[in-house]
Amino acid sequence: MKTNYKIQGTPNSPVLMFSNSLGADLTMWDELVPLLLPYFRVLQYDTRGHGQSELTEGPYTIERLGQDVISLLDQLNIDKVYFCGLSMGGLIGQYLGIHHPDRLHKLILSNTDSKIGTVNRWNERINTINEQGMQAIVDSTMEKWFTPFYHKINPARVAQMKELFLANKTLGYTACCSALGAADFRSEIKKITVETLIITGDEDTVTNVVQAKGLQKEIPNAKLKVFPARHLPSTELPMEYADTLIDFLVGKETVDRGMHVRRTVLGNTHVDAANQNKNEFNSDFQEFISNYAWGEIWTRPGLSKHTRSLITLSMLIPLNRKAEFKMHVKAAFNNGVTVKEIKEVILQSGIYCGLPAANDAMHAAEAVFEELALNYKE
């Protein structure tokens, strides 16, 4: 089965994987991505029969859709992910939490339940769509997805989601409806041991607050977050939703967020060594670095970590801080910077910062390349 996916972010960052709702595709998460890229590689994919993923013969099962996730991770050589699934994606997340906990760091179950609706209700929807097409339920779906306030303040995004919904392949949508009708994890949900966050909207009529609290009660030590939203809080409140994910996956404190990003950029070996060398004299300075350099600046979504690495190198050259420059040359590779790009930064600096500074930087960079055994001379 060919699964359509998109992965963004720097190679040394942990992967956060998103699984879409019934009737949506991977673009439903787009508002969140820039806010999350300072912390994660973001992997979005289209569920089987949705978006640009392959349409295979139905009906589907949640087990089958869950195995699609495992196959994609194997294809991409990704061992473990943070997984966030909404509605149908939340059922897929439950399947993974029960049957493949070894592939998960943490789990976010958004606007979902261990059993959503009844078989009869899902069969009624299938019959309606087969007889009248997607147009027959699009307006009621938009009402379930978004609050009246969101319809009023962001009609363009609602119209975009409506167009996305109407573009669904009928066979793919109804095959997933069958999967939802048959899915029932009520007797297994207690088996989820991975750390779990449950999210819902206070006006969600599909999977309401009572259902979310029921999930929280069944899953050991699960946390719960309720948004002022309906079924798609990730679209209605992207900044708040992203911040909630970061709180849960990384930490609420600036120093925790900074330490997370510091590790993704500089690497665990460097950060562990710095922590081991902390003492009464330098510990405040280390906290200062993690808080302000890494927690306040490197976490900002306005520039990619790749761009920030290039900027940092270019500023260190005229300062002639060789040790710091060499450290950031190594770090740049964790942010996806190439040898050719480092060469261009040094050449540019020769014009604007002076040839002696650029010459020192060239020698320092070559020393790092030699240490890393990179083939940079050809």
The strand pairing partners of 201, in sequence order, are: 227
Q: Is residue 352 in some structural domain?
A: yes
Q: Quote the pLDDT of residue 253.
A: 95
Q: Quote the pLDDT of residue 127.
A: 97
Q: Is residue 81 in some structural domain?
A: yes
Q: Quote the pLDDT of residue 58.
A: 84
Q: Is residue 378 in some structural domain?
A: no
Q: How far is CA 359 from CA 135, 320, 342, in A?
A: 65, 11, 13
Q: Quote the pLDDT of residue 122.
A: 97
Instruction: Note whether 264 and 357 are same-domain residues.
Output: yes
φ and ψ at residue 46, rounded to 5 degrees: -90, 125
Instruction: Note whether 242 and 199 are same-domain residues.
Output: yes
Cβ contact 267:331 at 8 Å: yes
Q: How far is CA 304 from CA 236, 337, 376, in A?
A: 24, 11, 25
Q: Quote the pLDDT of residue 1.
A: 87
Which of these, 19, 233, 32, 27, lies nearest to 146 by C-alpha position? 233
Strands 5-8 and 41-45: antiparallel
Helix axes 135-145, 155-166, angle to 10 degrees: 140
Instruction: Note whether 103 and 198 are same-domain residues.
Output: yes
Which of these, 235, 229, 182, lies nearest to 207 by C-alpha position? 229
Instruction: Note whether 185 and 38 are same-domain residues.
Output: yes
Q: Quote the pLDDT of residue 129.
A: 97
Single out the residue in 249, 276, 293 at which a domain terminates: 249
Please state the pTM of the whole predicted model.
0.95
Q: Is residue 181 in some structural domain?
A: yes
Domain residues for the domain of 275 are 254-371
Report the distance separating Cα 246 and Cα 365, nearest Å. Answer: 34
Single out the residue in 197, 232, 249 at which a domain terminates: 249
CATH number at residue 23: 3.40.50.1820
Instruction: Note whether 157 and 288 are same-domain residues.
Output: no
Domain count, the chain: 2
Report the distance separating Cα 49 and Cα 57, nearest Å. Answer: 9
Single out the residue in 189, 217, 249 at which a domain terminates: 249
Instruction: Note whether 244 and 263 are same-domain residues.
Output: no
Instruction: Note whether 162 and 309 are same-domain residues.
Output: no
Q: Is residue 377 in some structural domain?
A: no
Which of these, 10, 48, 46, 40, lies nearest to 27 by C-alpha position? 46
Instruction: Note whether 229 and 258 are same-domain residues.
Output: no
| Cβ neighbour number for residue 351 with a 10 Å cutoff | 9
Q: Quote the pLDDT of residue 237.
A: 98
Q: Is residue 317 in some structural domain?
A: yes
Instruction: Note whether 262 and 225 are same-domain residues.
Output: no
Q: Quote the pLDDT of residue 116.
A: 98
Instruction: Note whether 344 and 201 are same-domain residues.
Output: no
Instruction: Note whether 271 and 134 are same-domain residues.
Output: no
For CA atoms 36, 19, 198, 15, the dihedral sign is: negative
Q: Is residue 376 in some structural domain?
A: no
Tens digit of pLDDT at every position of the chain (378 positions): 899 999 999 999 999 999 999 999 999 999 999 999 999 999 999 999 999 999 999 889 999 999 999 999 999 999 999 999 999 999 999 999 999 999 999 999 999 999 999 999 999 999 999 999 999 999 999 999 999 999 999 999 999 999 999 999 999 999 999 999 999 999 999 999 999 999 999 999 999 999 999 999 999 999 999 999 999 999 999 999 999 999 999 999 999 999 999 999 999 999 999 999 999 999 999 999 999 999 999 999 999 999 999 999 999 999 999 999 999 999 999 999 999 999 999 999 999 999 999 999 999 999 999 999 999 988
Q: Quote the pLDDT of residue 167.
A: 96
Q: Quote the pLDDT of residue 377.
A: 86
Instruction: Note whether 103 and 213 are same-domain residues.
Output: yes
CATH number at residue 291: 1.20.1290.10
Q: Is residue 306 in some structural domain?
A: yes
